[in-house]
Amino acid sequence: MAEAMADSYNGDSEPTTRTLLRRVLDTADTRTPRRRRSARVGAQKALLETPSSRRLSSPTKMNVRRHSHRVRSIGRLAHVHTSGNVEEQTPRTLLKNILLTAPESSIMRPESVVKPVPTPQVVQSSRRDSSRGSLELQLPELEPPTTLALGLLAPGRRKQRLRLSVFQQGMDQGLPLSQEPRGNASASSLTSSLNLTFATPLQPQSVQRPGLARRPPTRRAVDVGAFLQDLRDTSLALASPDPGKPAELLAGKAKKVDAHAVSFPNNSSAISGEDGVEPLQDGVDEEAEERMEESLSVSEVMDTTGTQGSVRTEKSKRHREMSEAVEAKEPEGSSGDEDISGRRASPELASSTTEFLQARQPQFLEPALPPSTAVLSSEPLEPLPTRLPPRARTPGPRPRQDPHKTGLSHYVKLFSFYAKMPMEKKALEMVEKCLDKYFQHLCDDLEVFAAHAGRKTVKPEDLELLMRRQGLVNDQVSLHVLVERYLPLEYRQLLIPCAFSGNSVFPAQ
Amino acid sequence: MAFSTTVSQRKHIKRKAPRGFLKRVFKRQKPHLRLETSGDLLVHLNCLLFVHRLAEETRMNAFENKCGVIKKEHVQAAAKKLKEYGKI
């Protein structure tokens, strides 16, 4: 015994936890702990002294910490021993199991998982890290029980996880609960450099508790086909602005369309051209192919820069979803556009299309037509000279109305909320009409007020005057009161100037 | 608890102002004019008050007709009344 001890002492320059454990096991008597208490304590004290002497020789912070750690763990071991255990399975046996089952790991190098005898190549500073690293590295190799061990050994959460895992082990192995936490604590602290499994050599935890096993992340296979398709489309879109000529663009599209080889009669070149090229941009929707063919014929026939310009901007708007680079097209298209009407129309068209896109994405056919009709209908600014009547009346005002309607629906919902009564659909439509008229009147009034003040910008003063005229604001009720009553906090802060510290007012006057 | 202690609205009314929508409407109507930043919030406030008044008037009309449902006629009558009072 003594020789073994001496050997172990002499042989190791820096004893590992494993060797320490061995020493403990060797020195500790198999007899009941209480009797040998003094002897054991004395032995352990000797143990403590020797490591301490060795430790002191190479002073590093890690070392000291480890040493104190070891001391504590040894102390705990002693405590365990002294506390007394009547049953067959003692900490000794536990530790023996550990020594048997745990794969030996060199302290220094995390890769070397299995080594026959502890050959402590000690790099003290990295010992802790490497030990933990070894733990982590061994995770995938070992069975799920190691996860349990890792959970046990995670330093921060040691106690909590110990309890749970220990409990589970107890359940499995029928070990007494009280012993295990302490035993685990000591063992884990001591054997942090080892891979500990308290499991008896052959019991994989996952088999019994499948839920505890770490599941590999399920990854969906990437749909390569769709991805390539999208790539092609975006590259097409990206490539198109480079030549910068609509003819080439359309020619490129034409080539694409040629595969389908259908020609449609072309009634209204401009509009159908716009319609056609728009869905072209999507490239994903098969339905749009019809339009594409129309656009093909249109492009060959039509030459108005206006249409092309608007087409360009429409294209750019369309593709906003697909790629950001498309946005570069917008200024390109708008700047390159010679036709004023086209330019004028395009922002509105674009806005309407984006609104529409935001509102309803799946409907590709209709948006094709609506922008054209939108151009037709919303032409208060400058009537386009060469506008042919829209092909289809039915989906006509939709794209213009839809974003408009979605905005109005907000107020319609408010109306139904204020009314607190069920409403007929016709009544709701009536409310929409009223709102439309209301907005028109509102804008006219604001224009008049701003012009009266000699301005071209409508300011909040104009709004206040409007509300005064309506009778909402009077000497008793001021605008600020109304703001506070009806608007949420964020808007209130923006509208009502408030003094802050440092002699500052927000919003600035 | 058998039921919740709070009274919840069936429809959650958004309190946000559709600022983009308002700006767009103004631009469409009066492209030569500009609207200030805080202006559209006040426009929203105005809309709220208008809708509030309209709804109140509509409800009164519906009560007077002893209908449990709001009908188109109630709304129309309310709108006419507001017009002559100068809702504008």
Print the SS3 string covering A28-42. Answer: CCCCCCCCCHHHHHH
Q: Which of B45, B55, B70 sits opposite A483 (nearest CB)?
A: B45
Is residue B9 assigned to a domain?
no
Helices and strands in chain A: count of H runs, count of E runs:
23, 3
Is residue B3 assigned to a domain?
no
Which of 30-59 (B) contact A at CB < 8 A? 30-39, 41-52, 54-56, 58-59
Q: What share of chain A has pLDDT > 70, as a percent?
A: 29
User: What is the per-residue pLDDT for A224?
Assistant: 73
Q: What share of chain B has pLDDT > 90, as a percent?
A: 27
Is residue B8 assigned to a domain?
no
Q: Can you give the length of chain B in residues?
A: 88
Is residue B14 assigned to a domain?
no
Residue with tokens 């006629």: B73
B30: pLDDT strictly greater than 80: yes
Mutate to test the interface with B, among A491, A493, A494, A495 (most CBs of B within 10 A): A491
Is residue B10 assigned to a domain?
no
Which of 292-351 (A) contact B at CB < 8 A? 348, 351
Q: Which residues constitute the domain of residue B50? A: 20-27+38-85
Q: Which of A407, A426, A471 sits opposite B72 (nearest CB)?
A: A426
B49: pLDDT strictly greater than 80: yes
Number of other CB atoms surrounding residue A440 within 10 Å: 12
* CA separation for the pair A87, A93 (Å, rounded): 11
Tell how far CA A286 is from the center of its chain: 32
Mutate to test the interface with A, among B10, B16, B33, B57 (most CBs of A within 10 A): B33
Number of domains making up chain B: 1
What are the pLDDT digits (tens) for A46-70?
444 454 445 444 455 555 555 555 5
Nearest to A312 by CA among A241, A414, A383: A241
pLDDT band at A494 (very low <50, low <70, confident <90, very high): confident
Domain holding B70: CATH number?
Answer: 1.10.20.10
Helix boundaries (H) for A58-102:
61-83, 91-101
User: What is the per-residue pLDDT for A166?
Assistant: 62
Nearest to A445 by CA among A421, A472, A418, A464: A464
User: What is the per-residue pLDDT for A159?
Assistant: 55
Min Cα–Cα distance to chain B from A430, Å: 6
Is residue B68 assigned to a domain?
yes
Is residue B44 assigned to a domain?
yes
Q: Is the model more confident about B72 or about A358?
A: B72
Q: Is the model more confident about A350 or about B15?
A: B15
What are the pLDDT digits (tens) for A484-493?
888 888 888 8
Is residue B63 assigned to a domain?
yes
Phi-psi region of A116 (alpha: psi -120 to 50; beta: other; left: phi over 0): alpha
Q: For the whole prediction, is pTM greater than 0.80?
A: no
CA distances from A155 to A130, A192, A469 (A): 14, 9, 73
Which of 397-416 (A) contact B at CB < 8 A? 403-404, 406-407, 410-411, 413-416
Burial class for A367, CB neighbours closer than 10 Å (0-12, 13-18, 19+): buried
Rounded mean pLDDT, A201-205: 52
Residue B7: HSE in the Cβ half-sphere, 13 Å Cα cutoff? 0
